[in-house]
Amino acid sequence: MNKKISILFALVVVLLLPGLVCAQTRLTVGYTGSEWYTGLEAQTESRKLIGFVGYETTAASGLLAVTNENPQLLGYVQIDRETFLGNLKYALGAHAGNPHFYTAALADNKLGVRGEIMRLSGSKAYGAEAEVNLLGAPSFSVKPYLEFRGDTRFKTQLGLGTHPIYLAFVYGFTPNPQIKAELFGTYNIGERLDYGVSFTLADTLKVRHTLNTDNDMTLSLIWDGTDHPFKLGIVWSEDQVQWHVSYALKI
């Protein structure tokens, strides 16, 4: 029942999104690792100024797809609003279905909300993220963080909630004007360490390689050419490969 509720919510919003102003609709074809799927994705974003020191962005996206061998509905919907007022940031979002569809197409569906509050203080930023999932696999997570910004960026975060406690870090740097790089790691206390590196080339091609102490490996590649109608994504893991290609439709 929870799965049907999530997919129904996703279906309604995905059907409505193409009618929104400035919405972009894409035809998506892909492979989950076990079977093919075809679907439609829609995205829209708007921004408005708040006085002289702030602005607010609202973004919504959704995907509805169906598999070919054993017909099954897949997809997600998410709506996010971020508000920036001087050195403060507030964010609130909601999601349904599988918001991690493009990295784990067959992951369980869920329905939940998330939020963030952040304060800038010179070259430092500190705040907390939180997420509550009400249906699917009920869960709760709070993640306070501290970030240092400058020529490089270092962020450390503590994860608390219904999942195992973890410590995470991200170190970002720019070795070349056309290359952005990140080193990252997550230590699930008493369990395992996930770590890896990612590179973004010319803001269009992103390559990410992840390893962990259980000897699992994941390699992903995402190409999103802003001047081209195509998008491409591939995720390799130890036991499967999933990929997708999407094309922007003119409606």
Tell me what pLDDT residue 20 has.
47
Tell me what pLDDT residue 10 has.
52
Query: Tens-of-pLDDT digits for all 251 residues of the chain?
Result: 445 554 555 555 555 554 444 568 899 999 999 999 999 999 899 999 998 889 999 999 989 999 988 888 899 999 999 999 999 999 999 999 999 999 999 888 889 999 999 999 999 999 999 999 998 789 999 999 999 999 999 999 999 999 999 999 999 999 998 999 999 999 999 889 999 999 999 889 999 999 998 888 999 999 987 777 899 999 998 888 999 999 998 76
Tell me what pLDDT residue 228 has.
79
Q: How far apart are the two ends of the chain, measured CA to CA in Å? A: 34
Architecture of the 2-249 domain: Beta Barrel (2.40)
Q: Could you tell me the residue ranges of all domains in the chain? A: 2-249
Residue of 147, 131, 123 lying closest to 99 (CA atoms): 131
pLDDT tens column, 34-59: 999 999 999 899 999 998 889 999 99
For 144-151, the CB contacts below 8 A with 24+ separation are 148/123, 148/124, 149/123, 149/124, 149/125, 150/123
DSSP 164: P
